[in-house]
Amino acid sequence: MLDLAPLARFGDRVATGLLDVTDDPAALDSTGFWAVAADFEGRLTCARFADVHERPVPAPAPGAWRGPAAGDWTSSLDRAGYTAGVRRIREHIAAGEVYQANLCRVLSAPVDPGADVDALTALLARGNPAPYAGTIRLPEHGVEIATASPELFLRREGRTIESGPIKGTGRTEADLLEKDYAENVMIVDLVRNDLGRVCATGSVTVPELCVVEKHPGLVHLVSTVRGELRDGAGWPETLAAAFPPGSVTGAPKPSALRIIDALETAPRGPYCGGIGWVDADRGVGELAVGIRTFWIDRAVGGGPLLRFGTGAGITWGSDPEGEWRETELKASRLLAVASGAYEAMERY
């Protein structure tokens, strides 16, 4: 087994000294500092650490990350398969089965057996900074994640819970379409309903709707949904109500999930799941949607693979080729960072 100590890093907060690991979400309402990784398919890993301290992400060390060559990436859905999937979703929409569904693909490339996701995090911090960037490194438990997520899934402060769904992506604000705004509003309604299942009646609000946020190489439409947890609702109830994140499933969520299962050819894993931390002693926590996320899969024959997911929300107004290009846009910068040498980072 790879000799890398368990570690979690979220921004400038670093957790070491692994105490225990569980798949029970009730642990997040107990004590201690927890790193949390929830796969899209439902596998939950909660790791409690003894030591938490402030330490900035170090500058990338030359040679610390040996990424795959740029041409080594393969996709679970090729261009023809993806655009066919978009057309199929439009047929489901025409039949009244769904309003919107996310269609994703998983990219994979061989990676060095000694690859360390925390070294990749250092590269991402330089080449693609993100508000919810982080590392969860638990090789013994099959969790090795480096995320540059820009999207808030759930933030909790005491009894207040908040989500920040992203829907709508373009290179510039001028690229955003009417379809993007409609898609965002649909998902806000879905998130309002999800949080309404665990929040006090009348407490769920939308303080911000369709705000344009700039990120490296692209812009997003972002909204904020907020509520007050009802008595008796904690992390288990909140995760059960909101997972998987609405922005990466679709509306209605049950129909979208059935369509996703039929059309996608690879499990999403940490991609589109939830990644973050919970400080149970202080009653606060922050989970990102697992987008712009890399993970190492060592449970495959022939050596470990580095994986990365990309996708787009499909509506009746979607153009199949346009949606394919959106998945390419979302992936291009991050794949360049992961595949390039440190000395080349200044080009990105």
pLDDT surpasses 90 at 343: no
pLDDT tens for residues 88-140? 999 999 999 999 999 999 999 999 999 999 999 999 999 889 999 999 999 99
Distance (Å, rounded) from C-alpha 226 to C-alpha 320? 33
| Cα dihedral across residues 248, 251, 254, 258: positive or negative | negative
Tracing tokens 């812009």 back to the chain, one arrives at 219
Q: Which amino acid is at 159?
A: R
DSSP 8-state assignment for residue 299: S
pLDDT surpasses 80 at 35: yes
Distance (Å, rounded) from C-alpha 52 to C-alpha 18? 11
pTM of the complete model: 0.94
Quote the crossing angle between the two packed helices 235-242 and 178-196, to the nearest 10°: 140
> How confident is the model at residue 54, as a pLDDT?
95
258's CB contacts (< 8 A; 6+ apart) are: none
Distance (Å, rounded) from C-alpha 337 to C-alpha 204? 39
Catalytic-residue membership of 167:
yes
Catalytic-residue membership of 151:
yes
Say what percent of the chain tops pLDDT 90: 86
Asked if residues 236 and 25 have their Cβ atoms less than 8 Å apart, the reply is yes
Distance (Å, rounded) from C-alpha 260 to C-alpha 250? 9
Band of pLDDT at residue 2, cut at 50, 70 and 90:
low
| CA-closest candidate to residue 212, choices 176, 178, 188, 247 | 176
Distance (Å, rounded) from C-alpha 279 to C-alpha 136? 15
Q: Which amino acid is at 222?
A: V
Distance (Å, rounded) from C-alpha 72 to C-alpha 169? 26
Q: Which residues of 130-140 are buried (b: 16+ CB within 10 A; e: fewer)?
A: bebbbbbbbbe
Average pLDDT over residues 37-58: 96
pLDDT tens for residues 193-211? 999 999 999 999 999 999 9
| Phi-psi label, residue 232: left if phi above 0, alpha if psi -120 to 50, beta otherwise | left
Q: Which amino acid is at 203?
A: S
| Residue 54 token pair | 């402030």
Angle at 263 between CA 258 and CA 267, to 5 degrees: 85
| Residue 178 token pair | 């009417």
SS3 28: helix
Q: Which structural domains are found in the chain, ordered by start?
A: 7-62+74-338 (3.60.120.10)
Average pLDDT over residues 4-31: 97
Distance (Å, rounded) from C-alpha 308 to C-alpha 291? 9
Q: Which of 144, 167, 179, 286 is catalytic?
A: 167
Q: Which of 54, 91, 97, 151 is catalytic?
A: 151
pLDDT tens for residues 279-290? 999 999 999 999
